[in-house]
A and B are shown apart, each in its own frame.
Chain A
Amino acid sequence: MSIQINQLDFSYINNNIFKSLNLDFKQGKFHGILGPNGCGKTTLLKTILKLLRVDNSCIFLDDFDINNIQTSKLALKIAYVEQSSNQLPHIGVRDYINLARYLFDDYGDKENKVVDRVVKLLNIEKLENKYLNELSGGELQKVIIARALAQETKLLILDEPTANLDPLHQLEIMELLSALVKSENLTIITTLHDINLSLTFCDEIVLINKDKIIQGPVETTLTKKNIKRYFNLDSYFTTNPFTKKPFVILNQ
């Protein structure tokens, strides 16, 4: 599943966010969206999800104008993981994952095969009988991703999935997402703040800062010049001895 954005204009009252934005999210890739706070990363995700309304025909899902797809039917195409700050209800992990089956006939089935599958896929069997508020930050993020996967969409959109997590769980979540792109042939679009995590795991990068927006493969987009231009930071590139991927040290 791919997404094309053609000439997207978006503004909140008196605040232009995007002007004539063109982007192309290719199928089967891990896309990272980076930029300073308040630059419009979440806004971009929300326009794709139709959580924010765009009047013109400028966002296309596999060549279909998303304005012609009912919001509820979009749930069969794209799943979404919000930023973690949102309050979650006091319900069990399995019941929570089951909510993703709302549009399907197997909703609420005791032995739901899809729920079983995602629980196994994410290796969270031991959390199944717990309540959401008994989970640690890392466990909770995995359960939320499991819920999104249970929608069985080919496109997964995440908003800062590593925020508030310790380094171990940041790596674990990114590895998990990266593995899903390959094993499940998913397309993933995620906003991120960590440049090194992006260098290690993403295939494609979108850099946003006001009206300067570029998109391209990670190695040619997250460069010394662009880091200066988009984050106003100096950088020193080296190689991560463990992953053999580029590693960057930043300085103000």
Chain B
Amino acid sequence: MNLNKNKNSIIIIFLILLGILLVSLSVTKGSVKISFKEVIEIIFNNKEASRSHSFIILNLRIPRTISAIVVGMSLAISGAIFQTLFKNPLTEPYLLGISSGAALGVTIATVFNLINIIPGIWGTFIFAFVFALLTAYIIFTLAGKNRSSLLILLLSGLAINFFFSALNSLLLYFNRDKLENIIYWQMGSFSLSSYEKILFTMPIMILLIIILLFKTKELDVLLLSDDTALTIGVDVKKQRVMLLLITTLLTSFCVGLAGIIGFVGLIIPHIVKLLFGLKHKYVLPLSLYLGAIFTLLCDILSRTLIPNTEIPIGIITALFGAPFFLYILRKTKAGIL
């Protein structure tokens, strides 16, 4: 037991240091190199710093770093909750087509100029949410009573994913003038982060995350069969609908902020579960933290791997995620997850 405690404290201290390191890298690294000392000067006293550097730090890199942290947290916690809700280690909003549903909503709104019906930046988020919700509803209905059946669930999600991707491509094919913008955005990027978006989405996202953190007890019981959970006293249907609504809302906000970023919701909760077990008291907060630092790391890589070029972050997370997915499949066979 003591050994375990020591091991856990070492992991936690390491993670905290890694977080601090990544935040510093995120504000200092990029196409323009700005020293850490200058960053500190800009944040606390921007009189002597150059105006362009000051602009880059305050208006580009800080909002980008905040976005990456909040999106990473949201994706990871949503993945963790999906895996419990569907009693299935291979589910996450991206694999089940919820993210592509949200993206389709934004494409439709952009192509048909519907986004401007709703003033400000609300349009993107509302269309993303409505379509994400619709996708979640379709998958739930298709999976029906066999919600825990891996095959039906994954196949439904896969079918939806293909269907929405095809619709998306069809729309883009006939609207080539908007092709580049939409495709770049859909591959995932934090380059369009702004304070406006953060101020609009962050309070809601943080509030939703806090609500989820109060649901650890219910989620623990939901690891059991529905009938047993009900007889223990959890209103399974109510909790499931509420948790699904919150995670769908969080996912669609992530899509609105940064496009489609897959695999964060799959990898992070699994790393946490392998290290710390299935109790949600640990799974949720640790997924939040690891999700944030993983996404931050991928974002830093996306803008530093190739000088003066930004690789969409969705590509980076998938490059990490796909091999890990295969690893999980092998572990699952052995009954560990």
How many positions in chain A have a CB within 8 Å of any CB in the partner chain? 30
CA distance A100 to B228 in the complex (A): 10
B87: which A residues are within 8 A, CB to CB?
87
CA distance A86 to B227 in the complex (A): 10
In this complex, what residue of B is CB-closest to A73? B233
Instruction: From the candidates A75, A89, A91, name the one contacting B232 in the complex (CB within 8 A).
Output: A75
Majority-rule SS of B interface residues: loop
Closest chain A CB from B146 CB (angstroms):
13
A88: which B residues are within 8 A, CB to CB?
224
The answer to whether B278 and A91 touch across the interface, beta carbons within 8 angstroms, is yes
Which of A54-62, A77-85, A166-174, A197-205 binds B? Answer: A77-85
B52 within 8 A of A: no
Given A90-B336, A91-B223, A99-B224, the answer on whether A71 and B230 have CB atoms closer than 8 Å is yes
Given A89-B223, A90-B336, A90-B337, the answer on whether A49 and B231 have CB atoms closer than 8 Å is yes
Given A71-B235, A80-B228, A108-B281, the answer on whether A102 and B217 have CB atoms closer than 8 Å is yes
CA distance A49 to B236 in the complex (A): 14
In this complex, what residue of A is CB-closest to B84? A89
Given A87-B87, A102-B217, A108-B217, the answer on whether A72 and B233 have CB atoms closer than 8 Å is yes
The answer to whether A102 and B233 touch across the interface, beta carbons within 8 angstroms, is yes
> Could you give, for residues 273-286 of chain B, a 1 whenever the CB lies within 8 Å of some chain A CB and a 0 otherwise?
00001110100000
The answer to whether B233 and A103 touch across the interface, beta carbons within 8 angstroms, is yes
The answer to whether A51 and B233 touch across the interface, beta carbons within 8 angstroms, is no
In this complex, what residue of B is CB-closest to A159? B227
CA distance A102 to B87 in the complex (A): 19
B264 within 8 A of A: no
How many positions in chain B have a CB within 8 Å of any CB in the partner chain? 24
Instruction: From the candidates B221, B230, B336, name the one contacting A51 in the complex (CB within 8 A).
Output: B230
Residues from 212 to 231 in B contacting A, C-beta threshold 8 Å: 217-218, 220-221, 223-225, 227-228, 230-231
CA distance A79 to B232 in the complex (A): 7
Given A99-B224, A102-B221, the answer on whether A91 and B235 have CB atoms closer than 8 Å is no
B217: which A residues are within 8 A, CB to CB?
102, 107-108
A234 within 8 A of B: no
CA distance A75 to B224 in the complex (A): 15
Majority-rule SS of A interface residues: loop
CA distance A25 to B148 in the complex (A): 34
The answer to whether A82 and B227 touch across the interface, beta carbons within 8 angstroms, is yes
A99: which B residues are within 8 A, CB to CB?
220-221, 223-224, 232
Closest chain A CB from B311 CB (angstroms):
36
B234 within 8 A of A: yes
A73: which B residues are within 8 A, CB to CB?
233
B335 within 8 A of A: yes
The answer to whether B232 and A151 touch across the interface, beta carbons within 8 angstroms, is yes
A65 within 8 A of B: no
CA distance A144 to B279 in the complex (A): 18
The answer to whether B278 and A80 touch across the interface, beta carbons within 8 angstroms, is no
The answer to whether A91 and B231 touch across the interface, beta carbons within 8 angstroms, is no
CA distance A234 to B279 in the complex (A): 52
CA distance A17 to B277 in the complex (A): 43
Offer 10 A-B interface pairs, CB within 8 angstroms, sorted by A: A49-B230, A72-B233, A75-B233, A80-B227, A82-B225, A86-B228, A90-B337, A91-B278, A102-B218, A103-B233
Q: List residues of chain B with CB under 8 Å of any chain A CB.
A: 87, 148, 217-218, 220-221, 223-225, 227-228, 230-235, 277-279, 281, 335-337
A-B residue pairs, 4 tightest by C-beta? A75-B233, A80-B231, A89-B223, A103-B233
